[in-house]
Structure 1
Amino acid sequence: MAIDYNVERPEDAALEAAANSGFFGKLGAYAKLSGPGWLQGAITLGGGSLAGSLFIGIVAGPHLLWIQPFAMLCGITMLSAIAYVTLSTGERPMLTVSRHLTPVLAIAWAVATIVANVVFALPQFALATSTFLQNLTPSWADSEVAPWIIGGVLAVTSVGIVWGYESGSKGIRLFELVLKVLVAVVVLSFFLVVGMLVARGQIDVGAVMAGLIPHLSQLHEPTPQLAEIAAATGAHEGLWREIISNSQRDIIIAAGGTAVGINMTFLLPYTLLRRGWQRKHRELSMFDLSLGLFIPFVIATSCLVIAAGSAFYTKTDDVLAPDGSVRPAMVRAYGDSVDKFLKLRDGASFASLDADAKAAARETLAPVDRRMAAMLASRDAGQLSAALAPVLGKAGANLVFGVGVIAMAWSSIIILILMNGLAIGAVFKRDENPTVFRIGTLMPGISGFFAPVIWTGASRAALAIPASVIATTLLPIAYFTFLLLMNSKGALGKDRPSGGVRLVVNLLMAGATSAATLASVWALSNRGTAGTWGLVGLGSLFAIGLISFLRKRNTA
C-alpha cells in the first residue's frame, strides 16, 4: 500500500513552520516530531550493547572508545538509505524489494527478523530478571518463583504497550514517549556513573579524549598498558600479545558490522509508514535517527566503556584474592581466560585432556600469567556494579545500575515484540489486520517468559547458534539490498541520486556494507557446520540480489 501524498496530516503544518523558523527553530521542531529513531535507539541499547561495552572496557580501557561511534555511523548510513527509499517510494519495503529485486530477498529478510526477535528476546528477559534479583531485590535471589513472576510482568506489560501502538496515531505517540523515557533513563543512569567517577578523579579525561581517535594499529597491537604487562610474563609475552590483539581485532570487526541488527533494518521503514511520514520527511528522518539512535547510543555505550575501564582495565583485585586464589564468583570467567592461553600454548594436547587434568593445568600457571588471565576475564553488569560500590555506595550502585540495565533490557523487549508483530503481518500480507499483528507480538513475549528453562545450558547454545548464523548472514544482505535499490531507476525514478551525490552515497553505503560483510564472514567462519552453510547462503543471496538488480534496474 503506497502513501497517499495528497492527504494533509497534522505534522505537515509543523514541518512547514520548521522550514521557515531558522536553524535552531528547525532543530526544535524536528525534535518534537521525532519518533521512529527513538525506537531504533531502544532496540540497540540492549544486552548486546551492554556486554560489548563491558568487554571493550576490560580489554582496552578507553583506547577503543572510537569503535562504537564509528560502527553506529555505518549503521546510520544504511538506515538513512532505507528511510530514503521507503519515503521516496511510499510503499512497504517488502513490496519494493519483491518488485524491483526478488521475493527471495524479501522473504529471507522478514524470516530472519522473526527468528532474531523470538530467540533474542530470551537473553533480554534473562538480563532484566537477573538484574532485578541481583541489584534491586537480592532477598528474592534464591526464590524459584520470582523469575517467573518477573518474566510474566515483563511479558504482559510489554505486549500491552505494543498493542497500544497498534491502536492508532495517539497510541503511536504514547508508545514513542514510553520508549523515549526508557532510553533517557539508560543514558542518564550511566552518565551519572561516569560523572561521579570524573568528580572523584578516577577518570583520566585526556585518555578518554584520545580514545575517540581511531588507531588502526589496534588491529594487531595491544594497548600500551597491556603490552607492558604482557612483557613482564617473559617467555609467554608473544602468546599474551596474540590473545590481546585477537580480542581487540574481534571487537573492531564485530562492532564495525553489527551495531545495527537485521531486525532494526526491518523495523525502521514500517514505523516510518505507520507515522504517516512522506517524501517531504526525508530530511526529518535523518535528523530523527541522529537524535534518537546515534546520540543516545554513543553516550550510553561510551559511559559503560569508561566505567568498565575504570573498574577492570589492568586490574585483578575483583578476580584474585590477596593470597592468589580465585574468588568464587569469578571461577568460570577466570577459567575461560586461562583456557585461551593454554589452548594457544599447548594446542591439541590441552584440548584432549579431561576436566580434572584441565583444572590441574590451570593451577600450574606462574603468578604473572595468572594476573594476565585475571585482567582479561569477562565481567557482567552485576560485577561492574559491585566494583563501583565504593564510589556510588552499595545501595547507590545497585540502584543506578539496576535501573539502567533493566531499562535497557525492557526497552529492547518492547521493540522486539513490536517488530515481530509487524514482520508477521508483512509475511502473511496482513499488515492492517490487528489480529495477525497481535499474534505476532505474542511470540517473543511467550518465548521470553520461558527464558528460565529455555535460555540455559545446551538449550541456549542450540538456539543461539542457528539464530546468530541467520541474523549474521542476512544483515549484509539487507544492506546490499538497499544499496541496490538506491541505484535502481525502476524503484526510485527521479528520486534516484545522481552526479556527485550518487557517488558519495554509494561510497558510504558500500563501505558500510563491506564492514557488515567482513563482520559476517568473520563470525560465520567460527560457527562450524552451521557457519559454513551460512557462508554459502550469504554468497548465494548476494548473487541472487545482483542478478535480479541487473535484470530489473530500469523496470518501473
Structure 2
Amino acid sequence: MAEQSQGSNTDTDRLQREITELQRLDQLPFASSAFGYIKRTGPGLLQSAMTLGAGSAAASVIAGASFGYKLLWVQPVAMFLGVMMLGALSNVVLTTGERPYKSFGREIGKWLVILWALGTIMASVIWHFPQYGLAASAARDLGNLQGVISVPVEVTEANTLLAAAEKTKDKPQINQAKANLNQVKKDTTLLGLGYTNSGLMLSFGVGILILCINIVATFNYGGDSRGVRIYEWFLRGCIALVIVMFGIVVVAKFDVVRAEFGEICKGLFGWYGIPNLWNLDGTLNNSTVTQVLGMLGAAVGINMTFLYPYSLLKKGWGKHHKKLARWDLGMTMFLPFVMVTSLVIIAMKVGGVYSGADVVNTTMQPLEAAGVLSGVLGDNMGRIVFNLGLIGMTCGAISTHMVVCGFTFCEMLGLEQTKSRFRLFSLTPAIGILGVIASLPMWFPVAASAVCFTMLPIAYLAFLIMNNKRSYIGDAVGHGFSRLVFNVILVIALAVATIGSGIKIYSNVVKKILPAKEVTATALVLPTSLDVQE
C-alpha cells in the first residue's frame, strides 16, 4: 500500500510539473512553444497507429494505382474531419475528467454505450485478422526474394488467371477461375491453403514474432506511467519505420517527383476533384463515388473513438491539457496519417503502377504493389523496403487493437482497471494471428459490420450533442463565431461518416444477405480495400 501511495504521489508531482510547464508554454510564441508541445504528445499516437493498418495501405494503393495523384486530397480531408470529431470528444472528457462510458450512459443512454463498447470489441477482433494477413503476405514475398518458395507455381498461375478474369467483370468467368484456384490449392498444397511448407512456416513465424513484440509493448501500457512512455516510443518507432520505408521508395524517384511536383500539389489541394465522376451516359460512376466516399468515411473507426478518451485519462490529462490535446491530434495523428497515405499514393504513381485510365482498380493489392516497385531502388530493394513498410503498419495497428480491448472490457464489466485485468483482456484479439493463413467465417464480418458501421455515426452524433451540452460541460461548449464554425465542421463530419457507413453496410451486410437478383439494380462496386479498417 505504501508503494502504491508513493507511486501515486510521484505521478501527481509529475502532472503538476507538467501543468506548470504547459502554462509557461502558453505564454511563448508559436515557434518557441512548438517543440515543448510535441515532446509531450502521446494519445494521438495510438489513433495514428490504429488507423495506419491494412485498410489504409490497401485504400492508398488502390487510390494511387487507379487515379495517380488526383485523390491525394481525400484522406487528408477524411482525417481532418475525424480529428475535429475527436477534438470535440477530448473537450468533453478533459473538461469533466469523467470516464465516457459512465458519463455518456448517464447523459444519453445506457444501451448506446453498451453498443459502443460492443462495436469496439468486435471491430478490434475482426480487423485484427487482415493485419496479420498483410504482414504474412509481405513476409512470404520477402521469402520468395530469398529463394524460399512460399507459393507453388501452379497457385501463382491460377491467381493470375483469376486476376485477369476479375478485370473482365464476367461473373461466370470469375466463378470458374475461383473454382480452378481452389482446386489447384487442394491438389498442390497442405490442407488446400495455397502455400508450401516453407510458406506456412514463414506465415506463422512472422505472426508469432509480431504477436510477441506486441504483447511486450501492450503489457507495458498496462503498467505505470513509465510503461506508457515505453509503449508510446514503440509506436513512434513503428510509425517512423513506415514513413522512412515508403519515403525511401519516393525519394528513389526524386527526379520524377521533382518534375511532377506541380501535379502533386494539385492532387493535395483537390484541383481535379473526383476524376471520372460521370459515365458516358450521364449517370454517376458508382465505383469512383464509392471509392471516394468510402475513403472519406473510414479514416476513423469505432474502436478509435472508444480508445481515445481513455488514453487521455491514462495520461492523467485534464482541463489544463486542452491545448496540448489539440497539438497531439495534429502532430501525432493527422500528420503521420497524411504523410504515410500520401507517400504510398505517390509511390504508386512514380513507380509506374498508375495506368492513366482513372478507373478504380479493384484487383490491385498492397503485395502486388510491392512487386511492381521491385525495380525502383535497383534489383529487388524497392520491393523489400515496401514490404517492411507494410509490416510496420500492421505491427502498430495490432498493438492498439490489443490496448483498446484492455480498456473496453474493464469498462463494460464495471471492473477497476488493474494491471493484471488490462493485460488479460488485451489478449482478446490475439486470435487474429490465424489471419496469417485464413479469414473469418462470412457470418462474423457481416454481423460485425452491421454493428460497427452503424455505431460510428451514432457515436459521432453523441459527441456532437455532448460537446454542446451546457448543462454538462458549462462554458466549455464555446461561444461566438468559432463555436459556429466548429459545429458546422462536426455536422459535415457526421454526414460524411453516415454516408460512408451506409456504403459499407450495403457492401458488407446487405449484398451478402440478400440474393444477388434483389440488389443488382442498385449495386455499387466496392473496392476490396474498403472491407477492412484503417
Output the TM-score relative to the length of structure 2.
0.79
Give the deviation of 1:190 after TM superposition.
1.1
Counterpart of 1:36 in structure 2 is 43
Q: Distance in 2 between matches of 1:20 and 1:201?
A: 40
Which of 13, 22, 42 is residue 15 of structure 1 equivalent to? 22
Cα distance change of structure 1 residues 527 and 377 upon mapping to structure 2, 3 Å threshold = closer
Give the deviation of 1:434 after TM superposition.
2.6
Amino acid at match of 2:97: G
Contact 2:126 2:445 in 1 (8 A): yes
TM-superposition CA deviations, 1:363-406 (whole Å, max 9, x none): xxxxxxxx999x83522222222222222123311321122111
For residues 273-292 of structure 1, what are the structure 2 equivalents within 5 Å?
273-292=313-332
Counterpart of 1:227 in structure 2 is none
For residues 291-440 of structure 1, what are the structure 2 equivalents within 5 Å?
291-310=331-350, 311-314=352-355, 376=361, 378-440=363-425
Amino acid at match of 1:296: P
Give the deviation of 1:140 after TM superposition.
6.0
Give the deviation of 1:201 after TM superposition.
6.2
Which of 475, 491, 494 is residue 472 of structure 2 equivalent to? 491
Counterpart of 2:299 in structure 1 is 259
Cα distance change of structure 1 residues 515 and 453 upon mapping to structure 2, 3 Å threshold = same
Give the deviation of 1:288 after TM superposition.
0.5
Q: Distance in 2 between matches of 1:272 and 1:372?
A: 42
Counterpart of 1:347 in structure 2 is none
Counterpart of 1:207 in structure 2 is 263
Which of 193, 206, 209 is residue 249 of structure 2 equivalent to? 193
Give the deviation of 1:102 after TM superposition.
0.8
Give the deviation of 1:18 after TM superposition.
1.7
Give the deviation of 1:252 after TM superposition.
1.6
Gaps spanning 5+ residues in structure 2: where?
1-7, 151-195, 515-534
Amino acid at match of 2:124: N
Amino acid at match of 2:219: W
Cα distance change of structure 1 residues 388 and 423 upon mapping to structure 2, 3 Å threshold = same
Contact 2:293 2:500 in 1 (8 A): yes
Contact 2:72 2:342 in 1 (8 A): yes
Secondary structure of the structure 2 residue equivalent to 1:525: helix
Contact 1:524 1:531 in 2 (8 A): no
Q: Does 1:519 align with 2:503?
A: no
Q: Distance in 2 between matches of 1:137 and 1:19?
A: 54
Q: Distance in 1 between matches of 2:258 and 2:449?
A: 38
Cα distance change of structure 1 residues 217 and 413 upon mapping to structure 2, 3 Å threshold = closer
Contact 1:425 1:431 in 2 (8 A): yes
Counterpart of 1:353 in structure 2 is none
**Further displaced range: 45-54 or 432-441:** 432-441
For residues 241-260 of structure 1, what are the structure 2 equivalents within 5 Å?
245-260=285-300
Counterpart of 1:172 in structure 2 is 228
Counterpart of 1:155 in structure 2 is 211
**Further displaced range: 426-435 or 288-297:** 426-435
Q: Distance in 2 between matches of 1:497 and 1:212?
A: 31
Contact 1:257 1:517 in 2 (8 A): yes
Q: Distance in 2 between matches of 1:307 and 1:57?
A: 8
Counterpart of 2:435 in structure 1 is 451
Cα distance change of structure 1 residues 441 and 214 upon mapping to structure 2, 3 Å threshold = same
TM-superposition CA deviations, 1:308-364 (whole Å, max 9, x none): 23322227xxxxxxxxxxxxxxxxxxxxxxxxxxxxxxxxxxxxxxxxxxxxxxxxx
Q: Distance in 2 between matches of 1:203 and 1:42?
A: 32
Amino acid at match of 1:180: R
Q: Does 1:47 align with 2:31?
A: no
TM-superposition CA deviations, 1:472-493 (whole Å, max 9, x none): 1111111111001011123212
Between the aligned residues of both structures, percent identity stands at: 30
TM-superposition CA deviations, 1:143-166 (whole Å, max 9, x none): 233322322222222122101111
Which of 441, 446, 449 is residue 468 of structure 1 equivalent to? 449
Cα distance change of structure 1 residues 511 and 137 upon mapping to structure 2, 3 Å threshold = same
Amino acid at match of 1:267: L
Give the deviation of 1:220 after TM superposition.
5.9
Q: Does 1:127 align with 2:134?
A: yes
Q: Distance in 1 between matches of 2:236 and 2:469?
A: 35
Q: Distance in 1 between matches of 2:212 and 2:248?
A: 30
Contact 1:466 1:530 in 2 (8 A): no
Q: Distance in 2 between matches of 1:449 and 1:150?
A: 10
Secondary structure of the structure 2 residue equivalent to 1:526: helix
Contact 2:19 2:321 in 1 (8 A): no
State the Cα RMSD in Å: 2.6
Contact 2:48 2:334 in 1 (8 A): yes
Amino acid at match of 1:135: L
Give the deviation of 1:219 after TM superposition.
6.9
Q: Distance in 2 between matches of 1:440 and 1:140?
A: 37
Gaps spanning 5+ residues in structure 1: where?
223-236, 316-370, 534-556
Counterpart of 1:325 in structure 2 is none
Cα distance change of structure 1 residues 478 and 530 upon mapping to structure 2, 3 Å threshold = farther
Contact 1:98 1:106 in 2 (8 A): yes
Cα distance change of structure 1 residues 276 and 72 upon mapping to structure 2, 3 Å threshold = same
Contact 1:136 1:398 in 2 (8 A): no
Amino acid at match of 1:76: V
Give the deviation of 1:216 after TM superposition.
7.9
Cα distance change of structure 1 residues 203 and 147 upon mapping to structure 2, 3 Å threshold = farther
**Further displaced range: 293-302 or 17-26:** 17-26
Q: Distance in 1 between matches of 2:202 and 2:120?
A: 30
Q: Distance in 1 between matches of 2:49 and 2:335?
A: 12
Cα distance change of structure 1 residues 488 and 149 upon mapping to structure 2, 3 Å threshold = same
Give the deviation of 1:21 after TM superposition.
3.5
Secondary structure of the structure 2 residue equivalent to 1:276: coil
Amino acid at match of 1:505: F
Contact 1:420 1:440 in 2 (8 A): yes
Secondary structure of the structure 2 residue equivalent to 1:218: coil
Q: Distance in 1 between matches of 2:379 and 2:368?
A: 12
Contact 1:59 1:247 in 2 (8 A): no
Amino acid at match of 1:257: G
Secondary structure of the structure 2 residue equivalent to 1:214: coil
Counterpart of 1:26 in structure 2 is 33
Q: Distance in 2 between matches of 1:207 and 1:242?
A: 28
Counterpart of 2:481 in structure 1 is 500
**Further displaced range: 480-489 or 376-385:** 376-385
How many residues align? The count is 454
Q: Distance in 2 between matches of 1:408 and 1:242?
A: 38
Cα distance change of structure 1 residues 496 and 242 upon mapping to structure 2, 3 Å threshold = closer
Contact 1:56 1:305 in 2 (8 A): yes
Contact 1:59 1:248 in 2 (8 A): no
Contact 2:70 2:273 in 1 (8 A): no
Amino acid at match of 1:426: E
Give the deviation of 1:528 after TM superposition.
4.7
